[in-house]
Copies of this chain bind each other. A is one copy, B any other.
Amino acid sequence: MPSADRRLQPRREPRQVRAELTRERILAAAAHIFSEYGYAAGTTNRIAERARISIGSLYQYFPNKDAILAALLVRHIDRGTWTQADELDLSPGTLAATVRALVRDAIDNHSEDPQLLRIMIEEAPLSQELLDTVDRHGKQRVAQIRDLLARHPDVRVTDLDTAAELIVLTVEINTHKLMADPRPIPVERFERELANMVTRYLHGDRHTE
């Protein structure tokens, strides 16, 4: 009843089932369109067309184009399920297995729609807020891995902070490229070697220090 000039968030909440469905349709369509055309060429009209709704309806659910991609990103982050440290075997002699589990996690979390993911983080003009969200999750993940390294008896690297950062980055990013590119190398082989590399790094050895 008061202030008659809001309209910051188009549509407060969907009240009917129909609305929920439409919202989902938009997101699904957007995922397809962005994935196929990229962010810039993935126009809102194209998204509406694919969702089989009018462009006007689309803008009742999202205040602008960026918000659509933001919703997709948040959804992806929320879905991302990494195995927790307490589900892992930390007894001596199990480092190789532990690392392999981490690598597999990364691959699983990127297998859904690698192309879309790439576009979300590489092409999209992420708002500061979104960037912060992504960053927060990244830092959390690094801290988690750092903690794991600290607990595992087989780990012999000294600079745990750098190691954790390096590992997360390496695993994440190699997975990215692996999924996005037309595989130049079989996934299993790549997975095995990537795990090997990380494992050997963590074991430390006499040649480097």
Asked if A200 and B205 sit within 8 Å, CB to CB, the answer is yes
How far is it, in angstroms, between the C-alpha of A77 and the C-alpha of B125 when the chains are bound?
A: 27
Asked if A165 and B194 sit within 8 Å, CB to CB, the answer is no
In the complex, residue of chain B having the shortest beta-carbon distance to the beta carbon of A204: B200
Chain B residues whose C-beta falls within 8 Å of the C-beta of A185 in the assembled complex? 161-162, 165
From A16-24, A58-66, A167-175, give the one contacting chain B: A167-175
How far is it, in angstroms, between the C-alpha of A185 and the C-alpha of B164 when the chains are bound?
A: 11
A163 close to chain B: CB less than 8 A: yes
- Give the size range of A's interface with the partner: 35 or more
Per the 8 Å Cβ criterion, residues 18-38 of A in contact with B are: 38
Q: Which of B122, B194, B199 contacts A207 (CB 8 A)?
A: B199
Per the 8 Å Cβ criterion, residues 119-176 of A in contact with B are: 122-123, 125, 154, 157, 159, 161-163, 165-166, 169-170, 173-174
Asked if A197 and B199 sit within 8 Å, CB to CB, the answer is no
Chain B residues whose C-beta falls within 8 Å of the C-beta of A198 in the assembled complex? 197
Given A170-B174, A194-B166: A199 touches B208 (CB 8 Å cut-off): yes
Q: Which of B125, B159, B169, B207 contacts A200 (CB 8 A)?
A: B207
Chain B residues whose C-beta falls within 8 Å of the C-beta of A55 in the assembled complex? none
Given A174-B166, A174-B173: A207 touches B203 (CB 8 Å cut-off): yes
Asked if A201 and B203 sit within 8 Å, CB to CB, the answer is no
A40 close to chain B: CB less than 8 A: yes
A83 close to chain B: CB less than 8 A: no
How far is it, in angstroms, between the C-alpha of A208 and the C-alpha of B166 when the chains are bound?
A: 20
Asked if A159 and B189 sit within 8 Å, CB to CB, the answer is yes
Closest 5 CB pairs of A and B: A197-B201, A200-B200, A122-B122, A196-B208, A162-B193
With A159-B193, A166-B194 already in contact, 16 other A-B pairs whose C-beta atoms are closer than 8 Å: A154-B207, A157-B193, A162-B190, A163-B193, A166-B174, A166-B197, A170-B170, A170-B174, A173-B177, A196-B201, A196-B208, A197-B197, A200-B205, A203-B205, A203-B207, A205-B205
